Structure 1
Amino acid sequence: MKSLLLVAAVVGSLLVAPVASASSGWEMRPTGVDARLRGLSAVSPRVAWVSGSAGTVLRTVDGGASWASVGPPGTADLQFRDIQAFDARHAVVLSIGPGESSRIYRTVDGGASWTETFRNTDPAAFYDCVAFFDRWRGLAMSDPVDGRFRVLRTADGGRTWSQVPPENFPPALPGEAGFAASGQCVATAGGRDAWIATGGGATARVLHSSDGGWRWTVADTPLLSSPSAGVFAVTFRDPRHGLAIGGDYANPTGAVANLAGSRDGGRTWSSLSGPVGYRSGLAWHGSSVIAVGPTGSDVSRDGGRTWQRLGDGSFDTVDCAGVCWAAGEKGRVGVLTRG
């Protein structure tokens, strides 16, 4: 979403069990950069990739003890808001923005070299997020063009992309779009189910595909929606059980409707009592779920019904693979620890 380009001006021992303990917290992994890191892909407790402003892409292979700057050359003017990594060598990164600012790059050698595999040529399109079902099949989502969301699909690991026919989407609401805040406005679970999180319109909604991203339906959520509010992140533990989180980034400490759950694959959503304030990132870790945002982070050990505070530090995105990683402003990266 175009308005997310203004977010930065508005809000400024590894975990080895699937459930965070009462003494859990974030242990920082200094990156040596000042970029805002909104893209994050956790591969394992040792391997993770992050991406963000000023063409930044970083990779660690030692649990965050050191980071290599591996971004595509000549991209310092791009904002890499989302990244999907498959191992220490293979990754796909998405830059956002209107027209040709929206691009996709792919590496097969740990970032030593990159291939640009997509450049948007439609000035009305604005790509927000990318997500993969497996290392071959993935989706990239744009804000609506001519009243319909736009989605690209790949079946070869991001080498080539093709557009899903616009008629396969329900009409978008006036002002409706995705939020490019955490790389989590598109999610997948299993081999065929995918979801798109929206806001900005009269209702915050979630689109769902059960056939690999070809045809889409839509459902309302009870989350607050406005030009600065809606669903910022959607995540599913399996093809049936999911959570959607958000709030209002223009009022980051406000107590508003910001969390909903689904038990039927996103066909219906019910309101849950979420953390207080705007939250842009959400990730499952076993039966626990971690939420992060500019004003703090929280953990739920019961599938999102109740929440406990993890800390007040600012993060934009979170991802878990063996351990949970979080990333955000001023190059911040943390790993969830057990004290």
Structure 2
Amino acid sequence: MQIRFVICFVVCAIASKVSAQSPTISLLDTSRKVSIRGLSVVNDDVIWCSGSNGSVAKSVDGGKTFTWQTITGYEKRDFRDIEAFDANTAVIIAVAEPAIILKTKDGGQTWKKVFEDTTKGMFLDAMDFSKNGMGWVIGDPINDQLFKALSIDFGDSWVSITGLDENNKLRKGEAFFASSGTNIKTSTDKVYPNIFTTGGMASRLFYKNKTYQLPIVQGKESTGANSIDVFKTKAVVVGGDFANDKDTTNNCVLIDLKGKTGPTFTKAQTPPHGYRSCVVYINEKTLVACGTSGVDISYDSGNNWQLISTQSFHVVQKAKNGNAIYLAGSRGKIAKLSF
């Protein structure tokens, strides 16, 4: 009798723990029929989103309410990435030519154009900032050279980095995906001062002025790396084939950045369940990835992934100063992931 009681207690305790860890996705807003690919979560309460049709959304109450706006003069532009610093300050980039970067310092009431490039073929893809205000923007190749712009003042001003450089030369059909604004990470850390990934006909890691072939699916315009996130000396890359978004072939790569001769790469044992456009570390062991065919979670640093939802999302982000996790996608869909 006592043994049965102990067994029952253990089983119930395990079931309770599993239940407590089961993540749930709650929709917060679907009021705008726009595609959202830019998402920046300042803290548990302050959330900024950007997307098509010149749209920007902001919440200061943890997603209970969102204030939407269409930026005057940019009604037809697609803002694929956003970086927010607080409830008043944010930077957005518009893809395609002319390449434009806007910044607000008054919570979105007014936006100032801080960068413009009218070069034919311009297409800005992603942006990231370090904690001290250094920011990088990357864009599709111009004359076979990847486009980069640098800011050292939280996006108030930008300088294009031009000139022929073998390390910045992209291969035929190699470019960046503007799918979630997360294929670049910028830091003041010596481990990765600047790291980004390409996709398409070729998919590579650009790290410390060197390039490395990624063991991820590639060879078509719709294939390759879409997103990277870094935790200390570890990194995870996700992608796949967005034209076949349920295919799991070589869609996730684990990277060890501390190798003596450069980063080392391994493939996930149980990959995400399809094409994934964004990945984010929740902590050292837990990661979340999302894409058009669903949302996955890993509890072992990206080695094995579990499908937790078949809902479509483009981007997922964790609060920079907090624990809240939010997702966004097409048709103005914004959601919160809770454990």
Q: Which of the five TM-score ranges fits, normalised by the shorter chain? A: 0.7 to 0.9
Q: Distance in 2 between matches of 1:82 and 1:20?
A: 35
Which residue of structure 2 aligns with residue 263 of structure 1?
Answer: 256
Q: TM-score, normalised by structure 2?
A: 0.87
Counterparts in 2 of 1:90 and 1:135: CA distance versus 1, 3 Å:
farther
TM-score by length of 1: 0.87
1:245 corresponding residue in structure 2: 238
Distance 2:151 2:69 in 1: 23
Alignment of 1:1-339 (within 5 A): 22-97=21-96, 99-100=97-98, 102-134=99-131, 136-168=133-165, 169-191=167-189, 193-201=193-201, 203-209=202-208, 216-225=209-218, 226-238=220-232, 240-264=233-257, 267-273=263-269, 274-287=271-284, 288-321=286-319, 322-338=323-339
- How big is each residue's C-alpha offset from its partner over 1:220-275, in whole Å with a ceiling of 9 and x where there is no partner? 1110112100000011112x210110000000111211010111167332222321
Deviation at 1:190, TM superposition (A): 4.3
Unaligned runs of 5+ in 1: 1-18, 210-215
Which fold has the larger relative contact order, with Cα–Cα distance below 8 Å and residues 6 or more apart in sequence? 1
What code does the residue aligned with 2:177 have? F
CA contact (8 A) 1:200 1:228 kept: yes
Q: 1:80 to 1:290 in 2, by over 3 A?
A: same
Q: What is the alpha-carbon distance in structure 2 between the residues aligned to residue 20 and residue 335 of structure 1?
A: 18
**Which piece of structure 1 moves more, 262-271 or 148-157?**
262-271
Give distance in 1, aligned partners of 2:54 and 2:283.
Answer: 33
Using the TM superposition, name which of 108-117 and 167-176 deviates more: 167-176
Q: Distance in 1 between matches of 2:179 and 2:229?
A: 15
Q: Distance in 1 between matches of 2:140 and 2:109?
A: 31
1:307, distance to aligned residue in structure 2 (A):
1.2
- Distance in 2 (CA, whole Å) between partners of 1:22 and 1:29 is 21
3-state SS, counterpart of residue 297 of structure 2: strand
1:188 Cα shift? Answer: 2.4
Structure 2 letter corresponding to 1:173: R
In structure 1, distance between residues paired with 2:239 and 2:318:
19
Q: Provide the rounded CA distance (Å) in 2 between the counterparts of 1:235 and 1:66.
A: 29
Shift of the alpha carbon at 1:121? Answer: 1.2
CA distance in 2 between counterparts of 1:185 and 1:110 reads 26
| 8 A Cα contact 2:37 2:50, kept in partner | yes
State the 1:194 CA deviation.
Answer: 1.7
Match of residue 13 from structure 2: none
- Bigger Rg over Cα: 2
Tell me if structure 2 keeps the 8 A contact 1:296–1:315.
yes
Aligned partner of residue 172 in structure 1, secondary structure: coil
2 CA distance for matches of 1:31 and 1:65? 12
Residues in 1 aligned to 2:132 and 2:257: alpha-carbon distance in whole angstroms: 26
Counterpart Cα distance in 1 of 2:267 and 2:301:
13
Q: Do the aligned partners of 1:143 and 1:178 also contact (CA within 8 Å) in 2?
A: yes
CA distance in structure 2 between the aligned counterparts of 1:184 and 1:53, rounded to whole angstroms: 17
Cα shift at 1:166: 3.4
- Segments of structure 2 that go 5 or more residues without pairing to the other structure are 1-17
RMSD, matched Cα: 1.8
| SS of the residue 2:331 aligns to | helix
Shift of 1:71: 4.5
Contact 2:273–2:307 under 8 Å retained in 1: no
Q: C-alpha separation between the residues in 1 aligned to 2:298 and 2:20?
A: 11
